[in-house]
Chains A and B, each alone.
Chain A
């Protein structure tokens, strides 16, 4: 029987304490222990990006981070990117551009796109494609996702 550990982290802006198994990945802990099931499991292997979150502001695949590693840190998931009662511009752009079909990869794309726009507010198409190459989408062919990130970039410039 493996050990249980207590972890304290800033989760989507609030200090959160939870108990995890020492073998839990951050993905396991977010989904199974805390119930933030917006973070999706696609491959559990770091290849698809569906579980992307920000850890201390850096984009990571939460399946490849141990839960214990986030003690004392900060984690932002898809549930935490909206601005109070308003969707984040990238969320709104995904809706406007029909950039999701089944929607399972969407949380990972949104977190990754937010991370891109946070550091590079006006990315080129090439930069968007390169940045998002770690997120797999099987439904859309990516076209509308790229367009949505371009639209989000424009709408954030206006603000």
Chain B
């Protein structure tokens, strides 16, 4: 495997190297403690009873037999939850409504999806807890489920939530902001428009209009959701869990449990993957309530079928796009209609799709109409560049078709329409510095793009995609020990190597060795508010916090040395190697650290920041596929990913993020999908039947990192985690077209779907 880095100009000592991660040894020896590894004396085990129906009125829940089982200590239903207000709850990256969260945690009057939690049990042993579930009697009145956006929006279909109004998406979770458009089962609507569509399409020499669908995909983290809670007699609650944001979890728990935030301590354990899916609360509040009832710690750990049934997958989508272009390839107008399944409660990532799909391009006349549609399926959650892969599949398929019909090279047509700094976008924003052209130039120059295809059944596809990235709040603190080592604390959960990337940024700032810094993720009592590890923000935003902490420490060191030497601080210089010098003296970092205790005490600094200088990143995927025309099976033969990262702090982890994102995108393109029957019952709730890619399915992905620095980060970091998942769906679909001449419009394009398309082609 080749990995190339197109280097930014500046050279660094630590940044850009590939040290072993600080948490590495614990993770290869099995010592690292993940959420489910917590063991406490007297701990009870909790389990959840789930709805076997996709849509039903809960007439009665009888828990008496379960409670009578020896070893069962607590059985709770929705009435044991504090009454939740119908009010917005700010979760940092997103906003949700407290009542909906509460109903999702334990159903109130209705079960609105297969797998919705109805009751919870805590027992001395996990087997007894499971036995108890079977003893809970529930009476249902089964209702017809609503299973597609088309059915949901049909006027004849009853409203899943009584009297739900369509609200403007900007005010999605406020009460009372009614949109002018009222559509059945549409929770919110966002209509983004720029220019004059009619005039734009009139200018076009060619117009292509296509419909697309994508399936329901799960994030597929290998660690199931878990949470352990201890509710003390003084109403202080400690929670150990795997979460992407300890403060986010604390604030949700405080609102749901009606306990002051300061009385809840969330201890973030190591997290076994999240991809956006470990932001919402599921059974953590239940563990807390059952701990309150029993006085004992309660641990809950989902089974895999529960993860697939009842935690957030991404939205299944229906997207219609119309694009008009001139004969020279100039796109003059684009009109998109996006209807995304939210699941049983509002909040799909449809706006992410509607905004990001056009982000790489400068199009004068654009519209994206985004609908958030309620269906009787599990509530969706964020999944890596939420909402964008499906929308990029649509636009990138059409651009591929445009290129073919206009006989323009697929890279050239994208280059011709590339957005530049200052391009006005349809969401009103002026595009900041991006690297669309730089990335396409690199793609054009790859050996892969220029290699001959060895066989007519092999096709090559290319696609690009954008993601806006996130800023948000981060805190950090660091203290200098007298031996010159440094403890660095942050509140950012480490989901993919952030302890390494943050320690490296502090080491670079202070001019010290990477190994001298001990980075730690600490609990909510021990650091200032820090938003979720999501939105590709952690190395960027918490990185800025860490650099600022380093700068504060440097200033204190200068002042201390000035006092020690009885010299004006302005005469001193902090050097790149961590030493401080005056015109005639020098003292190194270790010597400075050693003198601190006796010259006014050790130095520490802390900071909290709100990062706002994030910029979008662009990714590109080139893929070769071989199609077996008899069976419709698609094999990936070669894969190259290009990505603008701003600056790769730890290139190995950047490559890993890219390779992982590419593979999830390939999974969306070819393999993965939820299968619901006509009653809304999920038929493939296991990792055997929900088919994620294995090591045997794919070749190595060659990585080319392009470094166009972000001017809004001291080292140029942009954020890398999410954008690589965006292009592969269209790249694979375009490669299939190149191989066999049919354009997949429904993903995943598994053998069954591709066979149908191939038959249709052959019958023509």
Contacts and interface: CB of A to CB of B under 8 A. Distances in A.
A2 B127 contact: yes
Interface string A1-39: 110000000000000000001011000100110011111
Contacts of A135: 695
Interface in B244-272: 270-272
B64 interface: no
A62 interface: no
B32 interface: yes
A146 interface: yes
B36 A41 contact: yes
A98 B497 contact: yes
A38 B30 contact: yes
Nearest to B226: A41
B469 interface: no
Nearest to B27: A103
B495 A142 contact: no
Given A45-B686, A104-B272, A143-B701, A96 B223 contact: no
Interface stretch (B160-168, B309-317, B580-588, B660-668): B660-668
A42 B687 contact: yes
A60 interface: no
Interface in A55-93: 77-79, 82, 87, 91
B456 interface: no
A127 to B, nearest CB: 10
Contacts of A97: 652
Nearest to B45: A32
Given A21-B127, A95-B24, A102 B700 contact: no
B662 A91 contact: no
A77 B28 CA distance: 12
Chain B interface secondary structure, helix, strand, loop or mixed? loop
Interface string A115-143: 00000000000001110111111111111
B657 A101 contact: yes
A17 to B, nearest CB: 19
Interface centre among A91, A102, A132 (most CB of B within 10 A): A102
B303 A44 contact: yes
Interface in B693-721: 694-698, 700-701
A138 B273 contact: yes
Contacts of A104: 34, 221-223, 270, 272-273
A103 B272 contact: yes
B660 A42 contact: no
B729 to A, nearest CB: 15
B695 A138 contact: no
A22 to B, nearest CB: 9
A100 B662 contact: no
B23 A140 contact: no
B695 A102 contact: no
A101 B224 contact: no
B696 A133 contact: yes
A40 B222 CA distance: 9
Contact of B695 (A78, A101, A129): A129
A136 B127 contact: no
A31 B33 CA distance: 12
Contacts, number: 189
Given A43-B686, A129-B696, A133-B694, A102 B221 contact: yes
B655 A144 contact: yes
Interface in A103-117: 103-107, 110
B672 to A, nearest CB: 11
A128 B700 CA distance: 13
Interface string B269-287: 0111111000000000000
Interface centre among B27, B34, B39 (most CB of A within 10 A): B27
Interface centre among B70, B223, B274 (most CB of A within 10 A): B223
B223 A44 contact: no
Contacts of B698: 141-142
Contact of B29 (A45, A79, A98, A102): A79
B659 interface: yes
Contacts of B27: 100, 103, 106
Contacts of A47: 304, 686-688
Given A50-B222, A103-B32, A141-B659, A136 B273 contact: no
A140 B24 contact: no
A136 B222 contact: yes
Contacts of B656: 98, 101, 139-141, 143-144
B652 A98 contact: yes
Interface string B11-53: 0000000101101110111111110110100000000000000
A102 B273 contact: yes
Contact of B222 (A28, A82, A87, A137): A137
Interface centre among B221, B304, B694 (most CB of A within 10 A): B694
A106 B497 contact: no
A104 B33 CA distance: 10
Interface centre among B39, B221, B664, B687 (most CB of A within 10 A): B687
B692 interface: yes
A107 B274 CA distance: 18
B695 A133 contact: yes
B127 A91 contact: no
A145 interface: yes
A96 B20 contact: yes
Given A143-B1, A146-B700, A100 B28 contact: yes
Given A129-B696, A137-B222, A94 B653 contact: no
B694 to A, nearest CB: 4
Nearest to B28: A91
Nearest to B23: A103
Contacts of B34: 37, 40, 104
Contacts of B696: 129-130, 132-133
Given A87-B28, A98-B21, A146-B695, A141 B662 contact: yes
Contact of B659 (A35, A95, A144): A144
A78 B30 contact: yes
A139 B71 CA distance: 39
Contacts of A105: 222, 272
Contacts of A31: 37
B131 to A, nearest CB: 9
A2 B125 CA distance: 10
A91 to B, nearest CB: 4
Interface string B653-684: 10111111111100000000000000000000
A81 to B, nearest CB: 9
B126 interface: yes
Interface of B: 1, 18, 20-21, 23-25, 27-34, 36-37, 39, 70-71, 125-128, 219-224, 270-275, 301, 303-304, 495-497, 650, 652-653, 655-664, 686-688, 692, 694-698, 700-701
8 contacts: A43-B686, A46-B688, A82-B29, A101-B653, A102-B274, A139-B656, A141-B656, A144-B655
Given A48-B687, A143-B655, 13 more contacts: A23-B127, A32-B126, A36-B30, A37-B37, A43-B687, A44-B303, A79-B29, A91-B28, A102-B222, A104-B221, A105-B222, A133-B694, A133-B697
Interface of A: 1-2, 21, 23-24, 28, 31-32, 35-48, 50, 77-79, 82, 87, 91, 94-98, 100-107, 110, 128-130, 132-147
